[in-house]
Chains A and B, each alone.
Chain A
Amino acid sequence: MGWTLVEGATELPADHGVMAVSISGERVAVFRVQDEYFATGNVCTHQFALLNDGFVEDGCVECPLHQGRFDIRTGKAMGSPVTEDIPTYATKVEDGQLYVDLDRQAELADTQSVALEDKPSADLEKSDGRRFVILGGGQAAACAARGLRDANFTGEIVLIADELELPYERPPLSKDVLLGTASTQEATVLDRQAVETLKIDLRCGLSAVQLNTGTRTITLSDQSTVEYDSVLIATGARPRPLPIPGADLPQVHELRTGEDAISLKRALKRGGQVAIIGGGFIGMEVASAARKLGCEVTLLEAEGRLCARALHPRAARYLHEIAEASGVEVRTGTRVSAIEPHGSVVQLNLADSEPLLADTVVVGIGVVPNCELAEAAGITIRNGILVDRFGRTSANNVFAAGDVATWPGSNNAQLRLESWHNAQEQALSAAKTMAGIETAYDTVPWFWSDQFGHNIQMLGLPTPSDEFYVQPASQDGGEVIYLHDGERLSGVVAFDNTAAIRKARIWVSQRLEVSTLLGFLKTASDSAGDTRVSPENRRKLMNNPAQYYVWPEKGLRRIPDWVYTDPAIYQLEVDKIFHGSTWNYVGLEAEIPEAGDFIRSNVGPTPVVVSRDEDGEINVFLNRCSHRAAEFCRELRGNNKEFVCPYHQWTYDLKGNLSGIPFRRGVGGKGGLPSNFIASDHSPQKLAVTTRGGVIFASFDLNMEPLEDYLGPRITEEFDATFNGRKLKVLGYYRNTLPGNWKLYHENLKDPYHATLLHTFLVSFGLLVAGNEAEMICDETGRHGVMASAKSDAGKVSEEDSKEMRAYNAELKLKAPEMLDFEDEFDSRWSVTMMTLWPNLIVQREMNTLGVRQIVPNGPNEFVMNWTMFGFEGDTDEQQRHRLRQGNLMGPAGFLGMEDNEAMKFVQDGMKHSLAGEHLIEMDPNTEAGTADTLISEAAIRAMYKYWRKELGIG
Chain B
Amino acid sequence: MLKENEANQGEAGIAEDTLLRTIEKFNVEYCLALDEGRLYDWANFFTQDCRYIILSRENFDAGLPVGLVYCEGRPMLEDRATAILETSMFAPRYLRHFVTNTFVHYKEGDEIHSGSNYLLTQVLMDKPNATMHQIGRYVDRFVHEEGVLKLKERQCIYDNLLLENSLVYPV
Contact = CB atoms under 8 A, between A and B. Distances in A.
Highest count of chain A CB atoms <10 Å: which of B73, B80, B91, B165: B165
Q: Is the interface of B mostly helix, strand, loop or mixed?
A: mixed
Given A731-B65, A734-B56, A815-B79, A898 B87 contact: no
17 contacts: A732-B65, A732-B67, A733-B161, A737-B164, A761-B87, A761-B88, A764-B87, A807-B87, A809-B86, A815-B75, A864-B162, A887-B67, A888-B70, A892-B163, A892-B166, A897-B166, A905-B91
A19 B87 CA distance: 65
Nearest to B73: A816
Contacts of B80: 888
A885 B165 contact: no
For chain A, the bracket of interface size reads 35 or more
B78 interface: yes
Contacts of A733: 56, 58-59, 64, 66, 161
A521 interface: no
B111 interface: no
Nearest to B54: A893
B65 A902 contact: no
A881 B78 CA distance: 19
Given A895-B88, A899-B89, A902-B91, A887 B165 contact: no
Interface in B46-93: 54-56, 58-59, 62, 64-73, 75-76, 78-80, 82-83, 86-91
B80 to A, nearest CB: 7
B19 interface: no
A727 interface: no
Contacts of A730: 64
A895 B89 contact: no
A633 interface: no
A297 interface: no
B163 A737 contact: yes
B164 A736 contact: yes
A908 to B, nearest CB: 11
Contacts of B88: 760-761, 895, 898-899
A435 B66 CA distance: 87
B83 A902 contact: no
A289 B162 CA distance: 52
Interface string B127-171: 000000000000000000000000000000000011111111000
Given A760-B87, A888-B71, A736 B162 contact: yes
B75 A898 contact: no
Contacts of A732: 55-56, 59, 62, 64-67
A736 B165 contact: yes
A164 interface: no
Interface of B: 54-56, 58-59, 62, 64-73, 75-76, 78-80, 82-83, 86-91, 161-168
B165 to A, nearest CB: 5
Given A884-B67, A895-B83, A902 B89 contact: yes
B79 A816 contact: yes
A891 interface: yes
Contacts of B168: 893, 898
A903 interface: yes
Given A758-B89, A899-B89, A888 B69 contact: yes
Nearest to B162: A735
A6 B73 CA distance: 88
B90 A899 contact: yes
Contacts of A902: 89-91, 165-166
B9 to A, nearest CB: 43
Nearest to B87: A760
A903 B168 CA distance: 13
Contacts of A895: 83, 87-88
A595 interface: no
A663 interface: no
Nearest to A866: B162
A764 B79 CA distance: 13
A590 B64 CA distance: 13
Contact of A892 (B72, B75, B78, B165): B165
Given A733-B56, A736-B166, A760-B87, A816 B76 contact: yes
Given A733-B56, A815-B75, A815-B79, A809 B165 contact: no
A136 interface: no
Given A764-B87, A898-B90, A898-B168, A819 B68 contact: no
A885 B163 contact: no
A636 interface: yes
Nearest to A760: B87
A190 B9 CA distance: 107
Contact of A735 (B62, B78, B161): B161
Nearest to B167: A893
Contacts of B65: 731-732, 880, 884
